[in-house]
Amino acid sequence: MEYKREDFLVESEDDEYITSCAIDLMKRTFTLYSNEGNTNSAVCNTTDEFMNVLETIRLVLPEKIIKYVEPVSPYD
C-alpha cells in the first residue's frame, strides 16, 4: 500500500489533527499530540514494525512537527 500525504490532510480547522510527533528511537515508541490536547502512543515490538511506522510518519507528517527524543545515558 502506498501512502500519500494528501490522504491525511484535514478538511477543516475544526477537525482534530496532529500538531507534534515525538519519536523515541531507543524505546521504539511514537507519541502523537493533537490540537485538542489528546495524546496517543504506539510501542513497536520489533525493529521491522518500528521502521514501517517511521517510514509512514515521515511520508505523512510535515518534517517540522517530527521531534526525536534525546537518548538518556546512565552515565550522565
pLDDT tens per residue, range 35-69: 999 999 999 999 999 999 999 999 999 999 999 99
pTM of the model: 0.78
In this prediction, residue 55 carries a pLDDT of 95
Q: How far is CA 3 from CA 26, 36, 58, in A?
A: 26, 25, 10
Cell numbers standing for residue 22: 515525538
User: What gap in Å lies between CA 71 and CA 24, rounded to an integer?
Assistant: 8
Question: In the predicted model, is pLDDT for residue 11 greater than 80?
Answer: no
In this prediction, residue 14 carries a pLDDT of 76
Nearest to 57 by CA among 32, 28, 25: 32
